[in-house]
Each structure stands twice: as structure tokens, then as C-alpha cells.
Structure 1
Amino acid sequence: MLGAGILTGFAALGEGLVAWAGWPLPGPVVGMALLWAALGLRVVRLHWLLEAADGLLGVLGLLFVPATVGVIQFLSAGAAWGAWLLVLVAGLLAGAGVAGVVAARLVRPEGGPG
């Protein structure tokens, strides 16, 4: 119970800090960073968290069920997925190509024409 309370407390602390400061970050991520700092400073001991962390890791697969159901629910969009994927890949290739051309023009080998 101690480990679960500590993990929940740091998640809540991160949520509260993000809400108070107005940061555009997920609260649990800030809470995890605070927990990491507390572990590094030895304010929190790792053995306090081990049992609760092992229990959470045991059911980690269940946490992905809602996301999977959401993806499957929208698979009926059909051809729209293909079009979006095409736009995504084309944008990626165009951006990478432009970045490559700009980098090649800005970085010239020593002793080359310039």
C-alpha cells in the first residue's frame, strides 16, 4: 500500500503542479520526473515502490485496451486512412528533401568552390 500511495501521490502532485503553473505538459509525466528526482535524492527509497510497481507492470497490457478499441473503432474510415497516410509520407519526404538541400548548400566541404 505504501508504494501505491507514493506513486499515486506523485502523479497527483504532478497534475496539481501542471494545473497551477499552466504548463502544457501531462501531469503524470511531471509527477514521474519529480519521483525520479526524489529517488535520486534518496527522499524515496526504491524498495518502498517495488511491490506496487511490479503489480502495475503485471497489468500493463490491460492499459492498452482502450487505445486499441479506439483505433479499431475508427478503422471503418476505410480509404480516408490511406489518403492520410499518403499525405503524411509525402509531407515527411518533402520536408526531409528540403532540409537535405538546404543543409547541402549551407555546409560546403573545405577547399571546395565557395
Structure 2
Amino acid sequence: MNWNKLTSDAQLADIKEESAQHPVLIFKHSTTCSISAMALSRMERNWNEQLGVKPYYLDLLANRPISNKIEHEFGVEHESPQVLLIRNGQCVYDASHMAISFAGLQQAI
């Protein structure tokens, strides 16, 4: 799996624009949380590039203000870990904690 690092809130405009061409996934990860590590590992083990989704990885401890901006931009209350699927500039699917799964993402697409 080839993550794109989300390190600037300016990237959110690019993500919205990209999402008109193909779905975009944002994975909000807490590097000190075992549940977050497990959800990340499950996502990476099951990932399939043929799905056509561009994945972004947000390190919450290093970039918490970006998470706040995501909450505002997409109207999804912050949780950690959390995934958001963005299509046409809108969040069309989100899941957190143990509900994060590649199968759930596939169904949303």
C-alpha cells in the first residue's frame, strides 16, 4: 500500500479536487494507540490498488490541527482512528475504531 502523507491543511483542497476524478481515503492514525495500529494494519493487509482509491495518511499526533480542519470541511466529528471516503468533494463514508475495515470501504465505493 502506498500512503500519501497528509501534512498540510492546504492539501484538503487538492483532495476535494482529486475526489472528482476518483475516490480518496483519509486514514486518521494515532501513533500511540493500539486500536489505531490494529486498524491500520488490517487496512494495509487487505488493500487492493485495483479499487481505484487514493489513500492519505494523517499522523494525528504530529498534525492535529489538520484533523480539526477535516472535521469542519467534511462535517464528520473527529474520532481516532478514523477513515473517511471522499467522493466529489464530500465525505460519503466514515468509520472509526473497530468498524474500520477494507470490506466496509469496498461496499461504500
* TM-score, normalising length: structure 1: 0.20
Larger strand proportion of the pair: 2
* TM-score, normalising length: structure 2: 0.20
Larger helix proportion of the pair: 1
- The structure having more radius of gyration, on CA atoms, is 1
More contact order relative to length (CA 8 Å, sep ≥ 6): 2
